[in-house]
Amino acid sequence: MNASGNDGDDGGIRLSKRVAAQAGCSRREAELLIENGAVRVDGEPVLLPQTRVQPQQQVEIEAGARPEPVAPVTLLLHKPAGLAADQAHRLLVPANHHAPERAGLRFLPRHAAGQRCMTPLEPGASGLVVFTQEWRIERRLTEDAALLEHELIVDVAGPVGPELLARLDRAPARVSISQQAEGHTGLRFALKGPRPGDVAQQCRAAGLQVLGLRRLRIGRVALSGLLAGQWRYLLPHERF
């Protein structure tokens, strides 16, 4: 099957044209059925309307499927350290979908199209980043950005004594020690509306060398079990 959609000499036709004729619907409605994952070719789901099919291939349309636009979604990504903010969207591919969720939710190409990064991190940081197509989520993360609490773990070189901790643990941040080991200390920051680089700068201003920074939570939505480079859907019951 030629998935490129280009004209060829194989006698195939666009899948959308075949589905429109088979279902007695418009070409646009056929495209929506395909994009929603309701069409199979020789038993395999095909999600691109421009895919070309041969006359002898079997095209099946899911019973009861409606030609509706793919609903917008919000994706939560665990950005790895070292990745620039404008490159993170490249990880929103099926292979990086969190495996436990992948079994129950069907990824559609439209889910990755036009995603907007609402909570960027500086290149050296890792952790939770939110991409969305949903205007309500975009408005929430934009208009209420200064009110949403972010939780981060900052790994710094050396020990952090009580006096230095007291200097850090002041408005607008709440800071505590989450882990202390030989040669480094893990500091837990909780603060509202930080911009990329704010927390690292606060540590450097206190004379600390930042070894790593990871965002664990934005509002009530947590990184949870996502490994670096993995993403999952924001579920209907989750609220920032």
Confidence of residue 118 (pLDDT cuts 50, 70, 90): very high
> Token pair of 157, please?
């070189």
For residue 172, whether the previous peptide bond is cis, meaning omega lies within 30 degrees of 0, is: yes
Task: Enter the pTM of the model.
Answer: 0.81
Mean confidence (pLDDT) of the chain:
91
In this structure, of 60-64, 102-106, 120-124, 176-180, the range with the lowest mean pLDDT score is 102-106
> Token pair of 196, please?
């990329």
pLDDT digits (tens, 9 = 90+) for 11-55: 789 999 999 999 999 999 999 999 888 999 999 989 889 999 999
Q: What is the domain partition of the chain in residue ranges? A: 13-61, 74-233
Contacts for 28 with CB less than 8 Å, ≥ 6 apart: 67
Count of positions (residues) in the chain: 240
Specify burial of residue 102 (Cβ count, 10 A radius: 0-12, 13-18, 19+).
middle
Using DSSP, state whether 150 is helix, strand or coil. Answer: strand
pLDDT digits (tens, 9 = 90+) for 207-219: 999 999 999 999 9
pLDDT of residue 10: 64
Give the whole-angstrom CA distance, residue 146 versus residue 131: 18
Q: Which CATH number fits domain 13-61: 2.40.50.40, 1.10.3720.10, 3.10.290.10, 3.40.50.300?
A: 3.10.290.10
The CATH H-level (homologous superfamily) assignment of domain 74-233 is: Pseudouridine synthase (3.30.2350.10)
> Token pair of 199, please?
């927390």
Q: Which amino acid appears at position 148 of this protein?
A: L
